[in-house]
Chains A and B, each alone.
Chain A
Amino acid sequence: DTAVSQTPKYLVTQMGNDKSIKCEQNLGHDTMYWYKQDSKKFLKIMFSYNNKELIINETVPNRFSPKSPDKAHLNLHINSLELGDSAVYFCASSLAWGSYEQYFGPGTRLTVT
């Protein structure tokens, strides 16, 4: 039973396209996150949601739009993809807002050509 799952695992697309990455957690957690890991393997937070409400939006271009239809899901939609969007995107969840251990999904490797 996968705790935090992401689909797809790999995504190859052309510049200018629009794509979505889906994330689901079955842990009953209230808080979910999106992280970007760049080509140098550096991780940076993009968004955080708590109880479906956007709490953290970390200077991400507005081409990126997260959506949380319910507490178990946090999807990431990206418009007008650019070469620089190529990265690995990780979804994560934690029990609640506050300092809790985070559980990560397997990552989605996005390649923009």
Chain B
Amino acid sequence: KNEVEQSPQNLTAQEGEFITINCSYSVGISALHWLQQHPGGGIVSLFMLSSGKKKHGRLIATINIQEKHSSLHITASHPRDSAVYICAVEGYGGATNKLIFGTGTLLAVQP
């Protein structure tokens, strides 16, 4: 079992829909990262958070440390949001800066 699990693995949505991607982890963490990998292969950092909630444009990320769970929400989804969304966690001490990745969620937003 991976230390970082994402669900769903694949998600197809219609343009305008509200989307939620979930991430659960089994280790103690100092931070959690959400990344976006475009169809062309490039990886972009969306959020890094260690508590609460962050918002950037139509994207919202939340984390519940006690439940070891994070969600990434996309409001008013658009075809340009189609990408792989990857959750990654980093631990404490010697595990700081060592990202452990989930397997990703492939999102396709249809017009």
Contacts and interface: CB of A to CB of B under 8 A. Distances in A.
Interface stretch (B42-50, B58-66, B74-82): B42-50
Contact of A103 (B37, B45, B98, B104): B45
B72 to A, nearest CB: 15
Interface size class of B (residues with CB under 8 A): 20 to 34
Contacts, number: 59
A23 to B, nearest CB: 14
Contacts of B97: 31, 33, 48, 50, 55-56, 94, 97-99
B99 A101 contact: no
B48 A106 contact: no
Nearest to B101: A43
B96 interface: yes
A106 B41 contact: yes
Interface in B71-111: 84, 86, 88, 90, 96-99, 101, 103-104
A57 to B, nearest CB: 11
A99 B50 contact: yes
Interface size class of A (residues with CB under 8 A): 20 to 34
Contacts of A48: 97-98
Interface of A: 31, 33, 35, 40-45, 48, 50, 55-56, 58, 88, 90, 92, 94, 97-104, 106-107, 109
17 contacts: A33-B97, A35-B99, A41-B84, A41-B103, A42-B101, A42-B103, A42-B104, A45-B99, A50-B97, A55-B97, A58-B98, A98-B96, A98-B97, A99-B50, A99-B90, A104-B42, A107-B42
A39 to B, nearest CB: 13
